[in-house]
Amino acid sequence: MPLLEVSDLSVRFDTDDGPVHAVDRMAFTLDEGEVLGIVGESGCGKSVTCMSLVRLLPETATISGRALFDGTDLLALSPRRLQRVRGREISFVFQEPMTSLNPVFTVERQIGEVLRRHLGLSRRAARKRALELLRLVRIPAPERRLDEYPHQLSGGMRQRVMIAMALACDPKVLVADEPTTALDVTIQAGILDLMRDVSERLGTAVILITHNLGVVADLADRVVVMYAGRKAEEAAALELFAHPQHPYTIGLLGAIPRPAAGERPERLQEIPGRVPSLRELPVGCAFADRCPRADERTRTNVPQLAEVRPEHLVACFHPGENGAG
Amino acid sequence: MGGFLLRKVGAALVVLVIASMLVFAGVRAIPGNPAIALGAEDRDPALIAQIKHKYMLDRPLPVQYAHWVWLALHGDLGATQSELPVAHTIVQRLPISLELAVLSLVVSVLIGIPAGVIAAVRRGRPEDYVATTGALVGLSVPHFWLGLLFIIWFAVDLHWLPAGGYVTLHHPLSNLEHMVMPAIVLGTGFAAVLMRQMRSSMLSTLNADYVRTARAKGLSERAVVWRHAARNSLITVTTLLGLQLGALISGVVVTETVFQIAGFGQLTILAVNQRDYPLIQGVVLVTATAYVVVNLLVDVVYSLLNPRIRVT
Amino acid sequence: MSAVDTASLTSPRARRRIILRKRFLRRPMAVAGLVVVVGLTIVAIFAPWIAPYKAGATDFNALLAHSSSKHLLGTDFLGRDELSRLIWGARASMQAGFFATVLAMVIAVPIGLVAGYYRGWVDTVIARLTDVLLAFPFLILAVGLSAILGPSLLNATLALGIGAAPALIRVARGETLALREEDYVPAAIANGASDATIIFKHILPNMTSTLLVQATVTIPLAIVGEAVLSFLGLGVQPPAPSWGTMLQDAQSYLSQAPRLAVYPGLAIVVAALAFNVLGDGLRDIFDPRTTR
């Protein structure tokens, strides 16, 4: 049985200018110890999807659907019980380590907070465990770091602290929302390595949210591609990169700069057009306006997910690697 | 942190010097013979000569100033119209005003900070409207008028509390009786300002990423609001607190006048109304010093609270 | 949607004014504030024609009288009509509020502009000084001034204006610092515009909304300040009417005629509240983040 089973998840924000449909009938599963990558461009709803699982969204959000975690529907939990899931069973690592850590508390205090809240550890035990965690995330001179404040640490170290904090209670799921986007390129690889390492060692399932396909290729077992709040494609990572079916995925892959030795550099393929406004649910396929394969059918009907290749789902009327459908 | 404080101390000293110069110049600017202003209203020639000699009035101004500062640093601020030493009179009355100021601050913090936090957390709901409107009214009501009203209600009509005056701390209950109304009157005005600042700060703190992290960690909403958000907002508000201290000093002066409390504030008004220049000089100088010193203290407190400055 | 229709007919500036006016009208509190402010201004200007009695007119047959048809709000300890004195007092308060604020602006805006525009050591000195003076108790300033110059409404206004200046300098400086980073500034320089032109044609006009909001919240502070000073004997001198001196008189008659303390205070509260509410509303509609 999968660890996490999300079905029919929809999130709607009620703003002053009307509703925004950020996520539309999203569904995915996560197995124990698996690394699932969710990719898509900014605003496609990948962060909102995951944050809605533990209701980390503002009050203007209306969430509907089901999210079965270990048999319990997260979306039906009371706030009190939800607090016991957050940080303990499902943890988050966010994009901006500088602003995501409280500037007035030491590292020890911030990690210790989770330990004392969920595991009831004493001050001394919490400090010991925090030290272990800092070693786990490979921070040099961890004893010193415990008493330091976030502004005294570098970006990469802060992110490691965030990861340590997230793993403190040995959660079943770690959601990493763009964990390396705000970091220097040279640091990014280290963080990704760390995440892979830790996930393997501890058996933690990871949901990796990113717009960067390179990151996904590195870490993920399976990949979900989202577009405009809907799932466009889903497959094992290797399968997806080798045989992309959805024109959006193909476009994303084509947009990756690939310097090939000896050959003339090709022009980067852009995907023309822009993401549709989410104020109204698009009538047909959300990608229709930008799709080279669009026709009457795609503009009036919403494509459903279908298994086009073994264990490879696509929501498209004209799936296929070469534009043929 | 050392550098930060050093700069603040330096600035404080500069202000003090400028203030003393202004006070010095102010008295000398009064039309007429300064000797008369400084204590010889009866124009007794012997007295005039004495004062002239004491303050070196026939020497050039810079020398006068230096000498005056020298005297002041030794505790000699001259004598009042009634021949009492200025310094002594001031020192006698300062603790009274200090007590009023501290009590008012306590009242304002106890009301203003929680009100601001709650208003921000329950933004747009009834609690917010009540608190915000209350603060607006509190800002617009002149607290000396509020003092008069309190006297009418609680002293004249209900006879619950004394109408004014002051009793020393040797009689703590009676002292409190006399201090309750003035402290509440002054405190509520200040509370209104604090509440608005706290609310404003909390509104932005509650949107911060680290608050989202705190929630994601599974902390109780109470811990998120008070331990994480409010703590940060409080630090911001501390700097603004320094700005309000001047208003507090003014408030003490007025409140003492309304409630007939024989403190430093009332002394100030007496001095001006009686044109007692040595006293005015002393009072203004002491006030400027107090203002500078307290601001410095606020800076120190802030640097202690804010890790970014305390530890670099 | 009518804003879209008129877009083709009106200039951007006029369109903005329409939007601002619409936003303002959607805020009943601010509108109420404006109405009261205008009312007070009219009362202050036309006091001689509105007040039933002259300010000093005494009636020794009706000392501390309750309200009657002859004296709508009663009389004070000298038999003077309370309502009339309130009206005349409005004049003193509005005068003090208005002129003190004008004075503060006249001092603060040029200094703030120069500091923010030219930066350098001039700016550093001004900024430091302002920071320290920002909260200097204006009361002590007023005390000092009246000690030297003698107490009067004029000197009180002077003290209030000077006391309010540092805060306004800070605002003006802040605005200037921000505005001079706007793109049209280097464009203007490239076109050969002089410093003066940039300051007066580009920076100053864009500060007006902020300055207007600041003025609207400074006035009530000055009004209350004048009342405080007059109450303490440092401003308007009795027998001239001011809400502050009326409260000072009332202090001696708290047990006999408490209502004498209520009326002037209420007047101050109404005036201050009106300006504050108006100021809050203006600040809200000028805020670029406001959507309605």
CB B209 to CB A91 under 8 A? Answer: no
CB B140 to CB C234 under 8 A? Answer: no
- Chain-centre distance of CA A78, in angstroms? 24
- Examine the pLDDT at C2 and tell me if it is beyond 70: no
DSSP 8-state code for residue C67: P
Q: Shortest Cα distance from B97 to chain C (angstroms)?
A: 15
Q: Shortest Cα distance from A100 to chain B (angstroms)?
A: 4
User: Which residue of chain B has the CA closest to C255?
Assistant: B156
CB B272 to CB C151 under 8 A? Answer: yes
**pLDDT confidence band for A325 (50 / 70 / 90):** very low
> Scanning the structure block, which residue is given the tokens 């059918």?
A297
- Greatest Cα pair distance, chain B, in angstroms, is 83
CB A99 to CB B216 under 8 A? Answer: no
Q: What φ, ψ does residue C203 adopt, rounded to 5°?
A: -80, -50
- Chain-centre distance of CA B301, in angstroms? 17
Give pLDDT, residue C40: 92
**A106 contacts A148 by C-beta, under 8 angstroms:** yes
d(CA B273, CA C151): 9
User: Which residue of chain B has the CA closest to C237?
Assistant: B273
A16 touches chain C (CB under 8 A): yes
3-state SS, residue B8: helix
3-state SS, residue C172: helix
Residue A119 burial class via C-beta count within 10 angstroms: exposed 0-12, middle 13-18, buried 19 and up: middle
- Note whether residue C201 is domain-resident: yes
Nearest to B218 among A84, A149, A152 (CB): A84
User: Which residue of chain C has the CA closest to A15?
Assistant: C291
Contacts of A18 in chain C (CB under 8 A): none
Instruction: Report the phi/psi class of residue C51: left, alpha or beta, with left for phi > 0 and alpha for psi in -120 to 50.
Output: beta
The more confidently predicted of residues C231 and B310 is: C231
**pLDDT confidence band for A273 (50 / 70 / 90):** confident
Give pLDDT, residue A324: 46
- Examine the pLDDT at C57 and tell me if it is beyond 80: no
d(CA A232, CA A225): 5
Closest CA to C249 of B311, B148, B82: B148
d(CA B46, CA B263): 34
| Chain C interface test: which of B90, B250, B279, B289 (most C C-beta within 10 Å) | B250
Instruction: Report percent pLDDT > 90 for chain A.
Output: 40
Contacts of B269 in chain C (CB under 8 A): 143, 232-234
Domain that holds residue C241: 27-55+73-286
- Note whether residue C2 is domain-resident: no
d(CA B175, CA B163): 13
Nearest to C148 among B30, B140, B142 (CB): B30
Give pLDDT, residue A261: 56
DSSP 8-state code for residue A312: E
- Examine the pLDDT at A280 and tell me if it is beyond 80: no
Contacts of A100 in chain B (CB under 8 A): 209-210, 212-213
CB A17 to CB C291 under 8 A? Answer: yes
User: Which residue of chain B has the CA closest to C141?
Assistant: B284
Reading the block at residue A33, the tokens are 């110890």
d(CA C170, CA C116): 9
Give pLDDT, residue A160: 92
d(CA C13, CA C16): 5
Residue B175: what residue type? N
CA atoms within 13 A on the CB side of C39: 12
**pLDDT confidence band for A208 (50 / 70 / 90):** very high
- Note whether residue C218 is domain-resident: yes
| Strand ranges for chain A from DSSP E | 4-15, 18-30, 35-39, 61-69, 72-73, 90-93, 173-177, 205-210, 222-227, 230-236, 305-309, 312-315
Overall number of domains in chain C? 1
- Note whether residue C15 is domain-resident: no
Sheet arrangement for strand A18-30: A18-30, A4-15, A61-69, A72-73
The more confidently predicted of residues C1 and A243 is: A243
Closest CA to B281 of B92, B86, B73: B86
> Scanning the structure block, which residue is given the tokens 């690394």?
A35
Q: Shortest Cα distance from B203 to chain A (angstroms)?
A: 13
The answer for residues whose C-beta is within 8 angstroms of residue B242's C-beta and 6 or more apart is B294, B295, B298, B299, B302, C135
3-state SS, residue B229: helix
Give pLDDT, residue B41: 60
The more confidently predicted of residues B50 and A176 is: A176
CA atoms within 13 A on the CB side of A314: 22
Reading the block at residue A71, the tokens are 């048999």
Residues of chain B with pLDDT under 70: 30-43, 55-56, 81-82, 312
d(CA A285, CA A281): 10
A17 touches chain C (CB under 8 A): yes
Contacts of A16 in chain C (CB under 8 A): 291-292
* Cross-strand partners of C81: C75
Concatenated DSSP letters for B168-224?
-TTSHHHHHHHHHHHHHHHHHHHHHHHHHHHHHHHHHHTTSHHHHHHHHTT--HHII
- Note whether residue C12 is domain-resident: no
Question: Average pLDDT in the A227-251 region?
Answer: 87
Contacts of B23 in chain C (CB under 8 A): 144
* Cross-strand partners of A37: A208, A223
- Examine the pLDDT at C227 and tell me if it is beyond 60: yes
Average pLDDT of chain A is 86
Give pLDDT, residue A30: 92
* Residue-wise pLDDT tens digits, A61-88: 999 999 999 889 999 999 899 999 998 9
Reading the block at residue C15, the tokens are 């369109």
Which CATH number does the domain housing residue C199 bear? 1.10.3720.10
B residues 268-307 near C, CB within 8 Å? 268-269, 271-273, 275, 277, 280, 283-284, 287-288, 291-292, 295
The alpha-helical segments, DSSP class H, found in C119-242 are 120-133, 138-149, 153-179, 184-190, 195-197, 204-232
- Note whether residue C13 is domain-resident: no
d(CA B79, CA B76): 8
3-state SS, residue A158: helix
Give pLDDT, residue A263: 58
- Note whether residue C216 is domain-resident: yes
Interface pTM, i.e. ipTM = 0.85
B residues 28-67 near C, CB within 8 Å? 29-30
CB C292 to CB A17 under 8 A? Answer: no
d(CA B48, CA B252): 36
Residue C252 burial class via C-beta count within 10 angstroms: exposed 0-12, middle 13-18, buried 19 and up: exposed
* Residue-wise pLDDT tens digits, C275-289: 999 998 898 888 877
Nearest to A88 among B218, B221, B232 (CB): B218
- Chain-centre distance of CA A295, in angstroms? 32
pTM attached to this predicted model: 0.82
DSSP H or E stretch at residue B99: helix B86-121
- Note whether residue C1 is domain-resident: no
d(CA A146, CA A133): 11
